[in-house]
Structure 1
Amino acid sequence: MTEVAGLLIGGDRVTCTSVPPHEHIYPATGRPNTTVALAGAPEVDRAVASTAQAQREWQALTADRRRDLLIDLADAVHEQLGELASLNVHDYAVPVSFAGTAVMLEQFLRHFAGYADKPHGVSTPVSGSADLNFIEREPYGVVAVLAPWNGALAVAASCVAPALAAGNGVVLKPSELAPLAALRFGELCVEAGLPRGLVNVVPAAVEGGSALVRHTGISKIWFTGGGETARRVISAATVNLTPVVAELGGKSAGIIFGDADLDQAAALSAHQGPLMQSGQSCACASRLLVHESVYDAFVERFLGAIGDAKIGDPFDPSVRFGPVISESSAQRIVGVIERAIERGWGTLLTGGARIGGVLAEGYFIEPTVFGDVDNTSALAQAETFGPVVSLMRFDREDDALRIANDTSYGLNAFVHTRDLNRAHRVARHLEAGSVWINQNSRISPQGPYGGYKQSGFGRTGGLAGLQEFQQLKNIRIGVR
């Protein structure tokens, strides 16, 4: 890939912008992949104005017409699943075997298309009156969706799809580190017949992102990313009192009880921990709490499942583990590992170093596992965002819950047990937005997804996800 990746504004690619472009580096090789045009304040102004105009056109359509166009968009995504998956790999070198967020995008579009022509409001009686009282749900108008580099298509699925179904227009800002799949999605919106500019895609760095969240034409902001950036976004949004929804980081616990199917638990935990996106996901189970009676047996199976995973070219369908996003990330993650070793936060069981040989020029780090980790250490408490997992022992159920909840995060929790009563009991005491029993995180359009504590607020998926993009209006008609 060599051509310049331009912004998408009003259905047209824009390659000449007010700020310097970004040289996109392919993480698997460390070499330039393409050049990405970035948005500054003038381009953000154009995008917001274009989306506002298109949103008025979109809202004026009949509900069944909006529904049909969203179904057409889902069909267009389906026809281009292979291309979108390939662009995902180009974006951040996620193995093509894991690049299934294009399928997720299609599923969410189809699901939320069905909401477009369904009733959204209610009528209620009014105390002491015969008046007619309506409570309606209306779109916000122009919504800004800020996507992280590790999931632009996932955010398009979980945020853009319901925003459109609710009648909004969207300015989608993917990270400059991974904009290619998001830009192609924007083109598919035009090709499917949605109003030009209804979904504008503006890759941007700090300048453009700041202009977007401070823009007076933005009525709501959805941010997915890290806590520090979220604080800056929320602070900037206070200038116009723009409401913000945030899905943030995680330090999720997986609890393996003594009665668990250890082979299944090891395989699922290996995928959900260091292997999935090389640990670069807020959904990762980066802390594994294992019952004392099965600790050694689980560790043997867990390390075996990790060791069986093929590492290499992300375009190879048999590869299950790829690089991290950048050289700076690789150095940061190795620094975390080295400090953990130096300070005795746990016992290194496998991994811990950069991968050399034919992969040396890329940003590959060995899947890394520490055993008997101190839960009060930074290794257990801070989000590493890399292929590093902490193992801990527990003896009693209440100890497992105490350790699992002893974190500032609360996005996911994972429980492995054959005891149905225990599964229900533990799930209700875990401080997490989603609890997955004997399975990995499988986000669906039917289920709400979001965090507790510093993992954010607000939900995607289901009716709750739709309602994040609707504002309430009360209409009362006097009856004499």
Structure 2
Amino acid sequence: MISTYPYVSGKYLIDGEWIQAQQTTNVINPALTSEVVGEVALCTKADVDHAVEAAERAFHSWSKSDISERASKMKVAAIEIRAIVEENVPLLVRENGKVLVEAKKDLLRCVDIMNEASDELLEWWQPEVIPGNQKVQIRRRPKGVTAVISPWNSPMILTFKRVIPAILAGNAVIVKPATSCPLSIMTFLKTVASHFPKGVLNIVTGSGGLIGEALCTDSRIRTIAFVGSTETGKEIMRAASSNVKNIYMELGGNDAAIILEDANLDDELITRLRFGILRAAGQVCSAVKRIYVHEDKYDELVQKLKKAFQYIRVGNGIQPDVEMGPLNNKAQYDFVKGLIERAEKGGATVIAGGIQIDPEGWEDGYFIAPTIITGAEQSSEIVQTEQFGPVIPILTFKNNEEAIRLANDSIFGLRASVWSENEEVAIEFADQLEAGAVFINNHTVFQDLHLDFPGLKESGISRETRHCSLEFFADSYGFAN
């Protein structure tokens, strides 16, 4: 039994009050679609207006608070959050589809974010003196009311990485969680909100179109932080253009992994590559979504990756031995299934693997087996589209120049990886890739929470940060005397 869960099901948070919604919709378990995990409130435009009013009132006093007070409150909240991690792991698994190990890691990372951002605030917020003939300082101040629109694939980490620095920077925040899995993030934010003045943290849920439009067009909101698809990001930009706002976006990706001719395709490489593809069932913006391998290594790679995929245990993530869960929602399930079917009809070869933990219940969840696609063309949909599922097309190249050209042939530029025994060659190769970050002999995330590198092209709007994203939520201004 999850002790905090009943307080958020079917409710929303405004000005310190959890309000029962008149209209709700069910949150279902993607591994067992007949199971209702809870309810999510369907807020109205009037509810959004109420939330903005509350946040605006709270901002006037919270923005003037001492940074030591902010950091102290967040540290205490982190202690309470850590205490409820274990009991809430099953809730995240049931509403999101992650496996137990991934879910627990996500929740623990939220605690890390709270502590590290608090420590970073105390140092980064201090005035910075610019050397020169005139005494000039760079000083910080909060931007204003901030809207955080969260995704369904990694709702915990990707929400906390924005909400926590926004609050620490002195802003009042309105969070709009994804409708398909809002319960975990609301349960944890309930604890966070209890440590801050009323109105500093508000939560509205419901239709992405209705709530998103209301948030983006409201002139009182000064910053929008969004994580999600590029197409939705474009809609947010259009809606927000009616008044000038700060927009911080992490959007889609179609990450390329380039296997050079000298790469050693040993068990360690295959394991890292497999994890880079199938983490969270491929529902990660920075997952490997295309592989380019030197033609001399092609057969070996396909056979070894095929073998690795065959032993992936797929099923309900609540079972401890499951390695990969379902896709989160029916729309994404249908999209990925359609991509595979169209690729096969177009002449590509589909190689499905995995072990079904519960074959009889397979059709009761949004399960897709780990799948390799061979024989696809560079221009094909399966290569050019962000699949966001456990599907990987593998293509060949003859030389490094061709590999660079193919890897850069995408509207996206989030992450990439180069796999080689020669670090100097890999670095030279990485310098030519159009990606916000490049990994060598791995395809993962930055372990240091201080770091966050932006995507290029249509993968995002932001800039490099080494300060737990604090600078996205604070204005820097010059002071001279």
How far does residue 400 in structure 1 lie from its aligned partner after superposition? 1.6
Corresponding letter in the other structure for 1:333: V
Residues 362 and 402 (structure 1), Cα distance of their counterparts in 2 relative to 1, 3 Å cut: same
1:325 to 312, 325, 328: 328
2:42 to 10, 35, 38: 38
How far does residue 376 in structure 1 lie from its aligned partner after superposition? 1.4
Once the two structures are superposed, the pairs formed by residues 255-274 of structure 1 within 5 Å of their partners are 255-262=258-265, 263-273=267-277
Q: Secondary structure at the match of 2:191?
A: helix
Q: Does 1:63 align with 2:64?
A: no
Once the two structures are superposed, the pairs formed by residues 229-244 of structure 1 within 5 Å of their partners are 229-244=232-247
Q: Does 1:315 align with 2:340?
A: no
Match of 1:166 in 2: 169
Q: Tell me the distance in 2 between the aligned counterparts of 1:208 and 1:119.
A: 33
Corresponding letter in the other structure for 1:204: G
State the TM-score, normalized to the length of structure 1: 0.91
Match of 2:18 in 1: 13
How far does residue 408 in structure 1 lie from its aligned partner after superposition? 0.8
Q: Tell me the distance in 2 between the aligned counterparts of 1:215 and 1:419.
A: 52
Residues 315 and 461 (structure 1), Cα distance of their counterparts in 2 relative to 1, 3 Å cut: farther
State the TM-score, normalized to the length of structure 2: 0.91
How far does residue 124 in structure 1 lie from its aligned partner after superposition? 4.0
Corresponding letter in the other structure for 2:128: V
Contact 2:250-2:459 at 8 Å conserved across structures: yes
Match of 1:109 in 2: 114
Q: What is the CA deviation profile of residues 303-357 of structure 1, one whole-angstrom value per residue up to 9, with x for unaligned ones?
A: 122221111121112211111122333222221111111112x3222259x9952
Residues 374 and 246 (structure 1), Cα distance of their counterparts in 2 relative to 1, 3 Å cut: same
Contact 1:97-1:318 at 8 Å conserved across structures: no
Match of 2:288 in 1: 285
Q: Tell me the distance in 1 between the aligned counterparts of 2:131 and 2:98.
A: 54
Q: Percent identity?
A: 29
Q: Tell me the distance in 1 between the aligned counterparts of 2:398 and 2:451.
A: 33
Match of 1:350 in 2: 352
Q: Tell me the distance in 1 between the aligned counterparts of 2:463 and 2:245.
A: 17
Corresponding letter in the other structure for 1:83: E
Consecutive unaligned residues of structure 1, counting only runs of 5 or more, are none
Match of 2:443 in 1: 440
Match of 2:83 in 1: 79
How far does residue 224 in structure 1 lie from its aligned partner after superposition? 0.8
How far does residue 251 in structure 1 lie from its aligned partner after superposition? 0.7
Structure 1 consecutive aligned stretches of length 4 or more whose deviation exceeds 6 Å: none
Contact 1:47-1:171 at 8 Å conserved across structures: yes
Contact 2:221-2:245 at 8 Å conserved across structures: yes
Corresponding letter in the other structure for 2:389: G
1:95 to 99, 116, 120: 99
Q: Does 1:199 align with 2:201?
A: yes
Match of 1:405 in 2: 408
Q: Tell me the distance in 2 between the aligned counterparts of 1:459 and 1:318.
A: 40
How far does residue 135 in structure 1 lie from its aligned partner after superposition? 3.0
Q: Tell me the distance in 1 between the aligned counterparts of 2:451 and 2:85.
A: 23
Q: Does 1:449 align with 2:447?
A: no
Deviates further, 467-476 or 34-43: 467-476
How far does residue 126 in structure 1 lie from its aligned partner after superposition? 7.4
Match of 2:138 in 1: 135
Match of 2:220 in 1: 217
Q: Tell me the distance in 1 between the aligned counterparts of 2:257 and 2:173.
A: 36
Residues 337 and 7 (structure 1), Cα distance of their counterparts in 2 relative to 1, 3 Å cut: same
Contact 1:372-1:393 at 8 Å conserved across structures: no
Deviates further, 384-393 or 193-202: 193-202
Residues 300 and 125 (structure 1), Cα distance of their counterparts in 2 relative to 1, 3 Å cut: closer
How far does residue 89 in structure 1 lie from its aligned partner after superposition? 1.2
Match of 1:394 in 2: 397
Deviates further, 459-468 or 193-202: 459-468
Match of 2:57 in 1: 53
Match of 1:362 in 2: 365
After superposition, the CA RMSD in angstroms is 2.2
Residues 460 and 160 (structure 1), Cα distance of their counterparts in 2 relative to 1, 3 Å cut: farther
Equivalenced residue count is: 468
Q: Tell me the distance in 2 between the aligned counterparts of 1:316 and 1:450.
A: 35
How far does residue 37 in structure 1 lie from its aligned partner after superposition? 0.9
Q: Secondary structure at the match of 2:232?
A: helix
Q: Tell me the distance in 2 between the aligned counterparts of 1:337 and 1:74.
A: 43
How far does residue 454 in structure 1 lie from its aligned partner after superposition? 0.7
Corresponding letter in the other structure for 1:122: E
How far does residue 25 in structure 1 lie from its aligned partner after superposition? 1.8
Contact 2:250-2:454 at 8 Å conserved across structures: yes
Consecutive unaligned residues of structure 2, counting only runs of 5 or more, are none
Match of 1:469 in 2: 473
Q: Secondary structure at the match of 2:327?
A: coil
Q: What is the CA deviation profile of residues 228-275 of structure 1, one whole-angstrom value per residue up to 9, with x for unaligned ones?
A: 1111111111112222111111110111223334222221222221x2
Corresponding letter in the other structure for 1:307: Q
Q: Tell me the distance in 2 between the aligned counterparts of 1:123 and 1:264.
A: 48
Residues 107 and 460 (structure 1), Cα distance of their counterparts in 2 relative to 1, 3 Å cut: farther
Q: Tell me the distance in 2 between the aligned counterparts of 1:414 and 1:463.
A: 24
Q: Does 1:373 align with 2:379?
A: no
Contact 2:288-2:443 at 8 Å conserved across structures: no
Contact 2:326-2:367 at 8 Å conserved across structures: yes
